[in-house]
Amino acid sequence: MTRRSLLTALPFALLASLRARAQSGAAARTVTVYKDPSCGCCTNWSQLLQKAGFAVTIRSITDIDTAKYAVPPALHSCHTAIVDGHIVEGHVPVADVQRMLKQGSAVYGLSVPGMPIGSPGMEVSGVAAQAYDVIAFDRSGKSRVFASYGRS
């Protein structure tokens, strides 16, 4: 390779490197999960987020500012996660979290109320999965079905 071709190729190589670094950084969103320290299903759900490329920090459920991150009472579950200012309550599938983040401020939070068997992190060997809905909600508490699983 001549000096001239090297100097010509160098800016393109640097640009490709910066683009790859920016794309990998976009996938590494930080999620803070507030959960009971002894809850294994919440740990399982957190690990699914990590496998999907999220940087996960786990804190005690008692540390969450419930005034700042309010979840409508009917939508409560076993853990609460905060990602980019959005709330994720319970065992929400990672694909739905990613879809919510792409929608920006159109959705404030998602919830899978309760702890349905078969939802992410709640898989039980030999037990049939329960049907469940992922519920989207806004800051006023208004909610709607965002996704459904296990329904015919």
Span 94-112, average pLDDT:
95
Residue 12 has pLDDT above 80, yes or no: no
10-30: b (≥16 Cβ within 10 Å) or e: eeeeeeeeeeeeeeeeeeebe
The answer to whether position 109 is within a domain reads yes
The answer to whether position 92 is within a domain reads yes
What is the pLDDT at residue 132? 97
Q: Which of 34, 120, 125, 139 is nearest to 80 (CA)?
A: 34
Mean pLDDT, all residues of the chain: 84
Q: How many domains does the chain fold into?
A: 1
The answer to whether position 1 is within a domain reads no
Span 74-102, average pLDDT:
95
The answer to whether position 71 is within a domain reads yes
Q: How far is CA 132 from each of CA 13, 71, 91, 92, 117, rounded to the nearest angstrom? A: 48, 18, 10, 10, 9
Which CATH number does the domain housing residue 108 bear?
3.40.30
The answer to whether position 10 is within a domain reads no
Residue 121 lies in domain: 26-149
Residue 101 has pLDDT above 80, yes or no: yes
Span 116-123, average pLDDT:
95
Span 61-74, average pLDDT:
83
Write down the pTM of the prediction. 0.79
The answer to whether position 37 is within a domain reads yes
